Amino acid sequence: MTLICLGDSLTYGYGIPRPRVWPSLLAGATGMRVYNWGINGDTTGGMLARFQAHGATRDSHAAILMGGFNDLALGAELGVVKANMFALVQQCFNARIKPLLGIPIPVRHPITFPLLASMDVERACAAYEDLRLWLHSLAEDFSLPKVDFYRCFETVSASAMQSGNRESFDALYTDGLHASEAGHALMAQDAARVIREI
């Protein structure tokens, strides 16, 4: 089975060695052929264009679709992001590829990622939360599987708060926006669980 992981830096694995990013770990855990089609800084519009143009989609069985923060940080309206994500789902159907929605990890404040310094981060984060809720609705409306990375990070956060060990949650991030190696290991574990279920 061949799986496409299409997204931005959360999929590419910004700052993480290639063997330690979640798509690579997912391939090792499942024995699947996994293509990491994440690009740092990409938007959902870029994802849509790449998906339409890439010939490898002909040989793929499923795709995990995840993105949106970059659009919102650059000032795009939430409706544009929703339209692009919906179009990606439709493109998967057209190509006879099973779409899975990736629910992005929560943003952890303070964000220290330097490229966001000149952007309206508060607006982007608020819209990102609205996008997360909409993705759940989209999955429900079309009976789409979802890989809820947000939920698995929040589970660790809740456990850390109860135990008073906040460091265990902080260790999942490099800069409040991107996952660390530990975060990628957690993401791969959750993705593998969902893949096995379907």
Whole-angstrom Cα distance, residue 65 to residue 63?
6
In the block, tokens 């997360």 appear at 132
Q: What is the pLDDT of residue 160?
A: 87
Report the pLDDT value the prediction gives residue 110, as an integer from 0 to 100: 87
Structure tokens at 104: 């992005």
Q: What is the DSSP letter of 61?
A: S
**Six-digit token pair at 144?**
């789409």
* CB 4 within 8 Å of CB 35: yes
Give Dmax over CA atoms of the chain in angstroms. Answer: 49
41-70 tens-digit pLDDT = 999 999 999 998 887 677 899 999 999 999
Q: What is the pLDDT of residue 59?
A: 85
Spell out, as residue ranges, where the chain has pLDDT lower than 50: none
CA 101 – CA 109 distance, rounded (Å): 25
Tell me what pLDDT residue 133 has.
Answer: 98
- pLDDT at position 116, please? 83
pLDDT number for residue 164? 79
CB count, 10 Å around CB of 69? 24
Q: What residues contact 61, with CB distance under 8 A and at least 6 apart?
A: 1, 2, 3, 97, 98
Structure tokens at 79: 């409706």
Q: What pLDDT score does 56 carry? A: 66
